[in-house]
């Protein structure tokens, strides 16, 4: 079985996400560089830069005039949306293939990409609105408190308040995100209708959620922190192009790896939860309509309709209707084998 994954599943996913990330940012950088190259004689101006510490004059001079930047700016919104969608769909493929234990890696990745990508997008839109409302609430709350409170003493006070607000927003959103990821992980393990899935985080392990939120925050901050570091280096040293590029790739790899590790953690936890439920099911005599194969349920498309029709009261889901499915239900695979 393992031979199907030559670099290991995580390694392959890492490669996909990394290449995908490059695909989105590299053309812009290349375009900028190429345009800069023939942009109205900027080359000589640039040559002066070589061997010198970062020259702020360049920034002052170039940014307002930079045709390459103007060229890039209309590309930005579609790129951002495209990259967002790529991540959501990638998460579908990644989580599904992490949950799936049989069959070729690429097949399961692609299957997850196609099937769960759209579901994740729907889920994401719900959580995005939740996140927006949360941020709005936090900001208004801070606004209200600030209005009622006396003048802040000292000029660090507004800064501290802003930092505190940022931290609260960040934690709140991080918690929401970890709930969102819990649902994702459970969804690929045990597909059920969306409205049933939304209850999953409430039944889950609060400690895990909190810990996951922290991990999510750390990974996100790591990404921004690395960015700040590299930009700082680039601005203060004479950074050669190659060195900068290496640093850049390292930073991208780190954040990408962090994300995939997070996905794996969530899938692992999803399995644990299912197992726990299964144990509980074993202890209690099964209800008439609950299949004996505990935990695992539906697999393929089409079964969801059946699920919603029969109602979601049963913990174990609906009869597994897909014996002819090319890929076995990941849920069925969740036997305590100790390997993931």
Q: Binding residue for other proteins (CB under 8 A) from 5, 10, 24, 106?
A: 24
Q: Calculate Rg over the CA atoms of the chain.
A: 25
Stretch that binds other proteins, among 189-197, 237-245, 268-276, 331-339 (CB under 8 A): 237-245
Stretch that binds other proteins, among 92-100, 107-115, 231-239, 272-280 (CB under 8 A): 231-239
Least Å from the CB of residue 212 to other proteins? 15
Nearest to 204 by CA among 189, 182, 184, 188: 182
Within 10 angstroms of residue 290's Cβ, the number of other Cβ atoms is: 19
Nearest to 12 by CA among 135, 108, 83, 85: 108
Q: Which is nearer to other proteins, 3 or 47 (CB)?
A: 47
Stretch that binds other proteins, among 7-15, 239-247, 271-279, 311-319 (CB under 8 A): 239-247
Sequence-distant contacts of 150-155: CB under 8 A, at least 24 apart? none
Is 143 a binding residue for other proteins by CB under 8 A? The answer is no
Structure tokens at 28: 């812009």
Q: Binding residue for other proteins (CB under 8 A) from 9, 13, 87, 303?
A: 87
φ, ψ (nearest 5 deg) of residue 127: -70, -30
Is 119 a binding residue for other proteins by CB under 8 A? The answer is no
Least Å from the CB of residue 336 to other proteins? 32
3-class DSSP assignment, residue 290: coil
| Contact positions with other proteins (CB under 8 A) in 163-182 | 173, 177
Q: Binding residue for other proteins (CB under 8 A) from 4, 28, 161, 168?
A: 28
Is 72 a binding residue for other proteins by CB under 8 A? The answer is yes
* Helices marked H in the chain: 9-38, 42-49, 56-65, 67-72, 76-99, 105-148, 157-189, 194-197, 200-203, 206-236, 241-283, 303-310
Q: Which is nearer to other proteins, 7 or 224 (CB)?
A: 224
Q: Binding residue for other proteins (CB under 8 A) from 15, 19, 122, 128?
A: 128
Query: Going by C-beta distance under 8 Å and a sequence separation of 6 or more, which residues neighbour residue 245?
Result: none
Q: Binding residue for other proteins (CB under 8 A) from 5, 83, 105, 106?
A: 83
Is 213 a binding residue for other proteins by CB under 8 A? The answer is no
Helices (H) and strands (E) in the chain, counts: 12, 0
Stretch that binds other proteins, among 99-107, 110-118, 147-155, 203-211 (CB under 8 A): 147-155
Query: What's the angle, vertex CA 220, arms to CA 189 and CA 63, rounded to 5?
Result: 135
Q: Binding residue for other proteins (CB under 8 A) from 153, 284, 292, 313?
A: 153
- Cβ(128)–Cβ(151) below 8 Å: no
| Contact positions with other proteins (CB under 8 A) in 261-300 | none
φ, ψ (nearest 5 deg) of residue 288: -60, -40
Classify residue 294 by its DSSP letter: -
Q: Which is nearer to other proteins, 223 or 319 (CB)?
A: 223
Classify residue 198 by its DSSP letter: T
Is 110 a binding residue for other proteins by CB under 8 A? The answer is no
| Contact positions with other proteins (CB under 8 A) in 33-52 | 33-34, 36-47, 49-50
């Amino acid at each position: 079985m393992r031979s199907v994954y030559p670099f290991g599943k995580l390694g392959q996913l890492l490669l996909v996400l990394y290449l995908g990330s490059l695909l989105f940012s590299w053309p812009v950088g290349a375009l900028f560089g190429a345009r800069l190259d023939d942009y109205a004689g900027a080359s000589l101006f640039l040559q002066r830069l070589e061997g010198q510490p970062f020259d702020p004059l360049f920034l002052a001079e170039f940014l307002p005039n930079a045709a390459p930047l103007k060229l890039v700016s209309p590309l930005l919104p579609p790129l951002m949306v495209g990259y967002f969608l790529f991540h959501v769909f990638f998460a579908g493929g990644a989580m599904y293939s992490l949950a799936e234990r049989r069959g070729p890696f690429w097949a399961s990745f692609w299957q997850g990409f196609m099937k769960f990508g759209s579901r994740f997008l729907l889920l994401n839109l719900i959580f995005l609105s939740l996140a927006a409302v949360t941020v709005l609430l936090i900001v208004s709350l801070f606004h209200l408190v600030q209005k009622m409170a006396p003048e802040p003493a000292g000029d660090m006070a507004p800064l501290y308040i802003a930092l505190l607000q940022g931290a609260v927003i960040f934690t709140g959103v991080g918690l929401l995100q970890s709930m969102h990821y819990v649902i994702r992980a459970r969804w690929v393990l045990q597909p059920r209708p969306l409205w049933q899935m939304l209850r999953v985080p409430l039944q889950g392990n609060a400690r895990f959620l909190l810990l996951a939120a922290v991990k999510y925050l750390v990974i996100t901050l790591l990404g921004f922190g690395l960015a700040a570091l590299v930009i700082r280096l680039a601005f203060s040293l004479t950074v050669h192009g190659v060195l900068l590029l290496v640093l850049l790739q390292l930073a991208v790899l780190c954040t990408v790896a962090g994300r995939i590790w997070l996905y794996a953690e969530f899938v692992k936890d999803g399995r644990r939860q299912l197992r726990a439920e299964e144990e509980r099911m074993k202890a209690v005599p099964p209800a008439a309509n609950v299949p004996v194969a505990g935990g695992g349920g539906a697999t393929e498309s089409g079964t969801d309709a059946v699920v919603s029709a029969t109602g979601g009261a049963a913990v174990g889901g609906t009869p597994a209707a897909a014996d002819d499915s090319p890929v076995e239900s990941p849920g069925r695979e969740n036997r305590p084998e100790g390997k993931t």
